[in-house]
Amino acid sequence: MRQADHTEVRQWLAQHGLTDVEPTPLLAARLAVRRRARLADSVLLAGLLIGAALTHALRLTYASSFWLPLLALTALVLGVLTAQWLLGRWVRRVDQRAGGHLSRRVTHPVELGWPAVLSRPYAVFTVATFTSAALLAVSVLPVADSSLRYGALVVLIGLAGSAIGTVMQLRQVLASPVVAEDEASLTADVIMRVEDARALVTPSLTWSLPAIFLYGESLGWWNAVSLLLVVAGVIAFGLIQTRSPGAGTAARRALAAR
């Protein structure tokens, strides 16, 4: 194991109260693949946002073409979902390959549902964020401004793709097999699941879409609501992060409740 990987693993263990656990190649491999997968997922979401912007720009430039840019955006969303699924598969394959070198495996796999891994506050916040953004987009569809209506369709397609991707990736996190050989590595395994789940529900795209695309020829109530959703969401998300137990504590509670 490289010195840089050793240092990263030691810092991660210390962050989660596992200072007595020795850094291992297994942990190094699992942390490295998750770091790369999250970076790739961020690039995919940025690409989706850019694609949505291009869709809107094409509509404004070629006013006669209504459905073609939306179909292109839908195809982009499907491509992003496929790439996200492949990222999840890649992470599982690295985990399985690393687990194949273990001298022994834990006898009882950890079967944790979303309340233990994600927690109800994070789940409620995620559903509320998506629902609020979707309702805002739907509510402006009857507005006379055609560019605003088109922006609302762009938002709804982007939100649908983001929601499906979040659910799909969360299912992958929950269904991943346990990779552990003792109590310490079992705790680390659950901590990774908690971190993976919480990273998935950070609503960057959900906040961005309405604020960017729900604008028309003049300012309206939808602009104020879009900004209000961002401000309220940031405050609520900050409170949840502050008041919720850390990933290490959440993982130990989940293991204790087995």
**pLDDT, tens digit, 9 for 90 and up, residues 154-190:** 999 999 999 999 999 999 998 888 888 888 888 888 9
67 pLDDT more than 70: yes
**pLDDT, tens digit, 9 for 90 and up, residues 11-50:** 998 998 888 888 888 888 899 999 999 999 999 999 999 9
Token pair 């609020």 in the structure block, residue: 132
> What is the C-alpha to C-alpha distance for residues 145 and 152, in angstroms, rounded to an integer?
11
* Cβ within 8 Å of residue 221, ≥6 positions away: none
| Contact yes or no for 142/216 (Cβ under 8 A) | no
* Long-range Cβ contacts of 117-121 (<8 Å, 24+ apart): 117/173, 117/174, 117/190, 117/193, 117/194, 117/197, 117/254, 118/170, 118/194, 118/197, 118/198, 118/201, 119/244, 119/250, 121/240, 121/243, 121/244
> What is the C-alpha to C-alpha distance for residues 230 and 96, in angstroms, rounded to an integer?
39
CA atoms within 13 A on the CB side of 171: 8
Tell me what pLDDT residue 239 has. Answer: 95
**pLDDT, tens digit, 9 for 90 and up, residues 45-62:** 999 999 998 888 877 676
**Chain centre distance of CA 200:** 2
Mean pLDDT calculated for residue range 75-94 = 94
* Long-range Cβ contacts of 3-11 (<8 Å, 24+ apart): 5/32, 8/32
243 pLDDT more than 90: yes
